[in-house]
Amino acid sequence: MLVVNIEVWPWGREERKYKIGEITAGNIAGGRISSYEVRVQQAAYEPEDVPAINEEFLLRDHDRRDGALALIRDALLIAVPPIEESSGEAGAGTGSTSKEG
């Protein structure tokens, strides 16, 4: 089972940390290509209009060779609705870069 705790550390101080979410993924089908029972939870944060998330679902056909981070990514792609971009902010915060030929 994979358990990921999501914490905020205000001002980078561990003694001030608090948990805002958790992802759990339990393998229910063996082999290289597996299925997982997944639960994604996140507390709401009203000042920033961040909604609470409490999703449970079956993630099928995950290639275990891709590793734990790929499993986390796939779970978040299912559980977290995409953020609609407003005009003038396209691509902000995506971390993507463009490459020219």
Which string of DSSP letters, residue by residue, matches 42-98?
Answer: E--BGGGTBPPEEEEEEEEEEEGGG-HHHHHHHHHHHHSPPPPPPTT-TTTTS----
Going by pLDDT thresholds of 50, 70 and 90, the confidence category of residue 55 is: very high
Residue-averaged pLDDT of the chain: 84
3-state SS class at 1: coil
pTM of the prediction?
0.73
Tokens of 21: 């979410």
